[in-house]
Amino acid sequence: MNRLRQSLTTVLTGLLIGVGAQAQAQMSQLQVAQVQDIPSLPPLQAARTTGDSIFPALGQLGLDVLNYDLTLTVARPGTSELRGEVTLTLTATQPLAQIQLDFFGPTVSAVRWNGRPVVFRSDIAAQKLLVVPPAPLLPGVEATLTVSYAGAPGIVRDPDFSYPLELGWQSVPGDEASAGATRAGANFTLSEPNGTHTFLPSNDHPSDKATFTTRITVPAGFTGAASGVQVSQTELEGGFQTFVFRQAQPIPTYALAIHVNQFERVESPAVPVGVGGSPVQRRDYFPVGTAQPTREAYARTAEMLRVLSGWFGPYPFEAYGVAVVTPQLPALETATLSTMPVTSSREPVALHELAHQWFGNAITPADWSDVWLNEGFATYAELLWAEAQGQDGQAIAARWMDTLNRRGTRPLVARTPEQLFDTSAYQRGALALHALRVAVGDDRFRAFLQAYTARYSGGTVRTADLLALAQTQVGPEGEAALKLWIESPALPALPILP
Ligand code: ARG
Ligand code: ZN
C-alpha cells in the first residue's frame, strides 16, 4: 500500500457513514479478539447483497474476490468430514465496513485479515459469515481474508425440484470390503447454482468470478483433482498426499471442481485449440474399475474440441477433461474438468458439458435469470456437433420444437428457480440461436459467435448484452430473430435452414 493510499484510507475511514466513531472504537477494541460471536459486537448492518433476481440473498454488493487459495484436507474420503483453510484476495468497488461472505459450511475456528485475527460471526440462518475488518475495505485496495474451518458441510437443496438433489460437497460412502472388488469412498463438488458455499466461504454469485488455487490433501491411494492445471503432487508424512491445482482464468464459484477418489488419471495428447493455437492439456479421471462403455463417451474429446473451437473460437482454458462419478446426478460443466456421472456418460452429454466451458465458465451470466445463455448455447452445440457427424441438424431442431410444444414454454429470461434448468432454458434457448443462424447464414453466425466469445470471455454477460452485440455484428434482422425467441410469450415458428 503506498503513502497516498494510506492517508486516503485514514480520511475515508473517518468519513464513512454507517461506521460511527463509537462503533469504530468498539471495533478497534475487538479486532484483536478471536472469537466466534462476541455479545458486544456492534450491531452489524445487513450489507447489500448482489440482489440477484432469482437468489436475492447471495453475494455481497461491492465485494470483488480476485482469488481463492483453498487448502482442503479430506482425511476420510466418502465421509462428510472436511477441514479447510481459504485465503481470499479481496478488493471492493465501493467502501465496505463489513465483509459478508456466503457460508453454510463447517464450523469456523478463526478468521484473519491480512494475517491478523479479526472479529467474525457465523450467521447460520442467513448462511453468511460476517467479518469486521480493522478498517473498511476501499476500492483500489487489496486485502486478504483467511478463514479456517472444520466439520461437516451444510446442505443446500436444489432449487430445481425435478431432482431430489443436495448441492455442494458430495460424499459417496465406499462399499464395505466383501468378497471381490470394493469401491472406495469419494467426495466431489456439485454446486450449480448455489452449493459452493456449503464447503467454501465465498462470494457465491456468478457476477464475481475469481481465479483459484486448490490444494487437496488425501490419504495414500487416493487422488485429488480440481479445476485448472496440476502444479504439484507431494507426499507427506503419515501416508498423506497433497495435490495442487491452479485455475488461472477467472471462473464462477459454482464451476469449481474438486474430486477425491481412487482414480485412474488418463492423459491424452494436448490439442492445439487454445488462445493463439496454444496446446490444451488433456486428462480424464476415471474411478478405478470404470467400465469401457463409460470411458468411450470421452474417446472423441479432441475432435469435439476441434469442432467446437471452429464455431466458438479458441478454447478458453489451459486444460480439459472429465472426472467420472458413480452417483446418479446431473452432469455438470465444472471448469476444465466436467463432472460426469456414469449414467450421463454419453457423447451428447459429454459434448454439452464441453460447450459450457465457453458458455458458462468463460462467459458467465451476471444474474441467474440469464442462465439460458449457458444452457441454450450448450444445447445448440449438440446440434452443431451432430451436423459435423453428418446428421441432420434441422431434424434435431424439429424435435426440440415438438418437446416445447408438448411441455409449454416461456420467454427466456427466467423468473423462478424452477425455470433455471427447464426445457425453455435448454431447447428454446438453442432454438433462439438456430433462428439467428437461419436469419443471417452460417458465416455471419460463426462470426457472431466468435465476436461474442472474444468480447465476453473471462467476464460476465446479460441477455441485453447479447442483443446489443447482435445489433452491431449481424444487424437488425439477426437481432430481431433473437429478440423474438427471447421475448415472445408464445413459441415462434420453427426456423428452417436453407
Ligand atoms: N448446467 C448443468 C448442465 O446442463 C445442469 C445443472 C442442473 N443443476 C441443477 N441444480 N438442477 O449441464
Ligand atoms: Zn447445460
Kindly list the domain boundaries of the chain, sorted by start residue: 9-261, 364-487
- Report the residue among 192, 359, 371, 375 best suited for mutation to probe ligand 1: largest number of ligand atoms under 8 A from its CB: 192
- The number of residues making up the chain comes to 498
Confidence (pLDDT) at 160: 75
Q: Which residues pair with 360 in a beta bridge?
A: none
Residues with CB under 6 Å of ligand 1 are 158, 160, 163, 192, 330-333, 352-353, 375, 421
* Sheet containing 99-102, strands listed edge to edge, beginning at the edge strand earlier in sequence: 99-102, 128-132, 119-123
Can you tell me which residue has the cell 455442494? 168
Tell me if 174 sits within 8 A of 191, measured CB to CB.
no
CATH of 364-487, one of 3.30.1490.20, 1.10.390.10, 1.10.150.110, 1.10.287.1770: 1.10.390.10
Confidence (pLDDT) at 14: 26
The rounded Å distance from CA 1 to ligand 2 centre is: 43
Quote the longest CA-to-CA distance of the chain.
73
> Of the candidates 231, 169, 163, 230, which has an alpha carbon nearest to the alpha carbon of residue 195?
169
> Of the candidates 97, 89, 91, which has an alpha carbon nearest to the alpha carbon of residue 42?
97
- Report the residue among 167, 329, 332, 349 best suited for mutation to probe ligand 1: largest number of ligand atoms under 8 A from its CB: 332
> Of the candidates 98, 88, 102, 95, which has an alpha carbon nearest to the alpha carbon of residue 143?
88
The rounded Å distance from CA 15 to ligand 2 centre is: 47
Which CATH class, in words, describes the domain spanning 9-261?
mainly beta
* Nearest-angstrom CA–CA distance, 395 and 409: 20
* Nearest-angstrom CA–CA distance, 135 and 10: 9
Closest ligand 1 atom to residue 332 Cα is 2
Amino acid identity for residue 181 in this structure: A
Convert 458-491 to b/e letters by CB count within 10 Å (16 or more is b). Answer: eebbbbebbbebbeebbeeebbbbbbebbeeeeb
The rounded Å distance from CA 121 to ligand 1 centre is: 32
Closest ligand 1 atom to residue 163 Cα is 11
Query: pTM for this structure?
Result: 0.91
Tell me if 165 sits within 8 A of 135, measured CB to CB.
no
Q: What is the pLDDT of residues 468-484, one digit of tens each?
A: 999 999 999 999 999 99
Per-position pLDDT tens, the chain of length 498: 333 333 333 222 222 222 333 333 333 333 333 344 444 455 556 679 999 999 999 999 999 999 999 999 999 999 999 999 999 999 999 999 999 999 999 999 999 999 999 999 999 999 999 999 999 999 999 999 999 999 999 989 998 766 689 999 999 999 865 555 578 999 999 999 999 999 999 999 999 999 999 999 999 999 999 999 999 999 999 999 999 999 999 999 999 999 999 999 999 999 999 999 999 999 999 999 999 999 999 999 999 999 999 999 999 999 999 999 999 999 999 999 999 999 999 999 999 999 999 999 999 999 999 999 999 999 999 999 999 999 999 999 999 999 999 999 999 999 999 999 999 999 999 999 999 999 999 999 999 999 999 999 999 999 999 999 999 999 999 999 999 999 999 999 999 999
Confidence (pLDDT) at 3: 35
